[in-house]
């Protein structure tokens, strides 16, 4: 009789995996509340007491079931190294729910004469209906996961996710990062090196935790020294959010009355649900490649049940398996990390202590992990698509309304063709491990495109408030000298992906030099150049993020990379390593 190895369900690697998974979920929760409050004026206190607890319940249910499935697989196979499937909040559909469902539903209710409280409740109910509908759809797909995957072309589905990944998941957090670049850029640099390039942070500190701590410490010290202006999320009363009971109103099932108002949002909601189904299948395949054979239908079924439970409890974000399983297994994670994540997110959401985290954690230090998610989705979309379909992925990234900025309808088709060919060839001619660098290089151009459109609005007489003015200034400094910025950012990330930290430090120093002269990130509307000792009077929005602070951020990042290379040297990678490496990412 064969002897089975005892299941080592907890190991030191679970700590690294826990920080990566929990901080990702925490960032999505913070982003949901922040975007609803700042973009749509949704009451933050209402979101904390109604939306957050139920959303957290979905993570608890899903991660607990996946933890149990790991124990079952260990018993069935007799292996002691089984790693649980990671589950968390789906990042792409978070943006979809905020910008295309809950936010517009709230704005429509307010415009219809409802007061803030009633409008927020109406939007909440619509969000709940949408999430339950997503879960029911995914549950049906659990029985036909294979045919669904074969029916939808991968380029079509992943292309739409790539558009969300670049335009929202990557781009919007960068606006937050450049609101306080001294903390944000350093935190982003740590994330890119440790998570995107898989270079271990010194002293075996989890990269996500290191980014949060280092960025948060810089933000705190910078504010105390007067280099960084005080700022953050909208003011709330964290104490009033403790032990929330308002979300329990979901069990009165009044939200079912919002179904008629929800139907028009289903064409947005269902494709996101379908994307998580295909993502769940990919998750299962990647876990199998790492040695853990989970049943595909059960994995899809678990994410469906967790989503339905979340929606029924007041949650507004669907849950999904994360494709980071091989990475968590390589960290040494087993089942304790999903159990810890369930406990942490559950306690934070259900006790109301998330409100304190929301108030304390600085956005510029927290959101870089979302940039990592966006870059990985983009690179994986091309990596998982046949090369002949690259133009289809690129086309799916182009919002139709942007065609209006092209010069003349007769020229549009040929220019679209040229653009698609350049995009597809850029990925085709680049080693696969460098795909995140190509994706990152696209972001400054997106900022330049957005600036063109916002300048038209401002020229028409629009007057932004103080908060919007700061965001528009972030847009300006990212877009200024965007071609050079793209080269410098891509060069730095390419060096990181090759594990050449000293070379990455050199690229970062080049960025610091360019910033001091206005070659990149010029704070002036005309984008003019200047000498470091004769910068001139800066606009009020440049407080804490003028050329000196930006250059200091890049210089600090260069020093970090140089020290990192000494303390934790890594063997450089070559193009031959692409054939052997299986890339993975921690959030779909």
Confidence band for 236, pLDDT divided at 50, 70 and 90: confident
Do 354 and 382 sit in the same domain of this protein? no
pLDDT for 408 beyond 70:
no
Q: What angle do CA 462, 463, 467 make, to 5 degrees?
A: 125
Same domain (yes/no): 289, 382: no
Do the domain assignments include residue 107?
yes
Structure tokens at 586: 């921690």
Query: Distance from CA of residue 375 to its chain's centroid?
Result: 9
Average pLDDT (470-489) is 93
Query: What is residue 430's DSSP assignment?
Result: S
Identify whether the C-beta of residue 438 lies closer than 8 Å to the C-beta of residue 427: yes
List of residues 6+ apart from 516 with CB closer than 8 A: 532, 547, 548, 551
* Domain match, 245 and 295 both: yes
Cα distance between residue 244 and residue 463, in whole Å: 38
At 290, the pLDDT band (50, 70, 90 cuts) reads: confident
Q: What pLDDT, in 10s, does the model give residues 182-218?
A: 999 999 999 999 988 989 899 888 888 999 999 999 9
pLDDT for 582: 44
Instruction: Write down the pLDDT at residue 373.
Output: 81
Residue 522, phi then psi, degrees to nearest 5: -60, 130
> Are residues 438 and 463 located together in one domain of the fold?
yes
Residue 3 clears pLDDT 70, i.e. is over it: no
4 assigned to some structural domain: no
Show Cβ contacts of residue 490 under 8 Å, excluding neighbours closer than 6 positions.
437, 438, 440, 441
Residue at 207 is within a domain: no
Rg of the chain, C-alpha, whole Å: 23
Indicate whether 249 pLDDT > 90. Answer: yes
Tell me which of 338, 362, 386 is where a domain ends: 362
pLDDT-derived band of residue 146, with 50, 70 and 90 as boundaries?
low
402 or 443, greater pLDDT: 443
525-565, pLDDT tens digit by residue?
Answer: 889 999 999 998 999 889 889 999 999 999 999 999 999 99
Choosing from 307, 335, 362, the residue where a domain stops is: 362
Residue 283 is assigned to a structural domain of this protein: yes
336, 415: one domain = no
pTM for the model stands at 0.85
Cα dihedral value 365, 63, 141, 262, nearest 10 = -60
388 and 413 inside one domain = yes
Is the per-residue pLDDT at 588 higher than 50? no
Assess whether 538 and 425 both reside in one domain: yes
> Is the residue at 354 inside a domain?
yes
- Number of structural domains found in the chain: 2
| Domain-embedded: residue 342 | yes
Please check the confidence at residue 55 and state whether its pLDDT lies above 90: yes
Helix (H) or strand (E) holding 219: helix 207-225
Q: Does one domain contain both 312 and 452?
A: no
> What are 89's strand-pairing partners?
319
Residue at a domain's end among 362, 387, 422: 362
- What is the average pLDDT score of the chain? 86
pLDDT (tens digit, 9 = 90+) per residue, 57-102? 999 999 999 999 999 999 999 888 999 999 999 988 998 999 999 9
| Domain-embedded: residue 422 | yes
**pLDDT at residue number 415:** 45
Do 284 and 325 have their domain in common?
A: yes
In 3-state terms, what secondary structure has residue 365?
A: helix
Q: Is residue 9 part of a domain?
A: no
pLDDT digits (tens, 9 = 90+) for 349-360: 999 999 999 888
Give the domain extent around 534. Answer: 370-398+409-575
Q: Is the same domain home to 145 and 250?
A: yes
Label residue 404 by pLDDT band (50, 70, 90): very low
One domain, residues 428 and 491: yes
Residues 244 and 128 in one domain: yes
């Amino acid at each position: 009789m064969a002897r089975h190895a005892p299941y080592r369900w907890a190991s030191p690697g679970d700590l690294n995996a826990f920080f990566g998974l929990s901080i990702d979920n925490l960032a999505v929760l913070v982003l949901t509340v922040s975007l609803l409050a700042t973009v749509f004026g949704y009451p933050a206190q209402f979101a904390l007491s109604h939306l957050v607890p139920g959303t957290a319940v979905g993570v608890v249910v899903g991660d607990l079931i996946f933890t149990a499935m790991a124990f079952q697989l260990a018993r069935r196979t007799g292996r002691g190294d089984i790693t649980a499937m990671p589950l968390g909040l789906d990042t792409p559909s978070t943006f979809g729910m905020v910008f295309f469902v809950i936010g517009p539903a709230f704005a429509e209710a307010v415009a219809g004469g409802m007061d803030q409280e009633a409008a927020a409740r109406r939007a909440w109910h619509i969000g709940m209906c949408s999430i339950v509908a997503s879960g029911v759809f995914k549950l049906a797909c659990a029985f036909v996961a294979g045919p669904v995957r074969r029916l939808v072309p991968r380029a079509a589905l992943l292309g739409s996710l790539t558009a969300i990944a670049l335009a929202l998941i990557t781009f919007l957090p960068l606006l937050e990062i450049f609101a306080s670049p001294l903390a944000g850029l350093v935190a982003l640099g740590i994330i890119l090196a440790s998570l995107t390039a898989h270079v271990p942070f010194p002293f075996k500190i989890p990269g996500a935790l290191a980014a949060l701590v280092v960025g948060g410490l810089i933000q705190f010290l910078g504010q105390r020294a007067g280099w960084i202006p005080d700022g953050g999320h909208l003011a709330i009363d964290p104490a009033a959010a403790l032990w929330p009971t308002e979300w329990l109103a979901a069990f009165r099932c009044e939200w079912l009355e919002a179904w008629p108002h929800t139907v028009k949002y289903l064409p947005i909601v269902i494709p996101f649900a379908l994307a998580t189904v295909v993502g769940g299948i990919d998750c299962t395949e990647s876990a199998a490649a790492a040695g853990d054979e989970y049943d595909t239908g059960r994995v899809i079924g678990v994410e469906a049940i967790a989503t339905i439970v979340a929606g029924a409890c007041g949650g507004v974000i669907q849950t999904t398996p994360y494709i980071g399983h091989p990475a968590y297994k390589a960290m040494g994670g087993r089942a304790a990390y999903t159990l810890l994540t369930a406990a942490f997110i559950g306690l934070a959401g259900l006790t109301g202590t998330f409100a304190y985290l929301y108030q304390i954690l600085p956005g510029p230090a927290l959101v870089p992990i979302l940039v990592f998610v966006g870059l990985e989705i983009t690179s994986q979309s091309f990596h998982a698509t046949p090369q002949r379909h690259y133009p289809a992925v690129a086309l799916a990234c182009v919002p139709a309304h942007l065609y209006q900025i092209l010069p003349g309808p007769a020229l549009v088709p040929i220019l679209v063709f040229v653009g698609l060919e350049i995009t597809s060839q850029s990925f085709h001619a680049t080693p696969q491990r460098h795909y995140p660098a190509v994706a990152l290089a696209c972001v400054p151009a997106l900022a330049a495109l957005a600036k063109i459109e916002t300048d038209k609005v401002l020229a028409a007489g629009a007057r932004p408030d103080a908060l919007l003015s700061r965001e528009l200034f972030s847009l300006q400094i990212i877009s200024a000298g965007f071609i050079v910025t793209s080269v410098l950012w891509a060069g730095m990330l390419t060096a990181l992906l090759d594990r050449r930290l000293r070379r990455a430090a050199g690229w970062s120093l080049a960025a610091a030099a360019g910033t001091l002269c206005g070659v990149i990130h010029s704070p002036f509307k005309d984008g003019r150049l200047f000498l470091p000792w004769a910068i001139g009077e800066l606009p009020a929005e440049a407080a804490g993020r003028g050329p000196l602070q930006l250059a200091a951020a890049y210089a600090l990042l260069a020093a970090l990379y140089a020290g990192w290379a000494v303390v934790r040297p890594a063997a450089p990678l070559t193009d031959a390593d692409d054939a052997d490496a299986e890339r993975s990412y921690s959030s779909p």
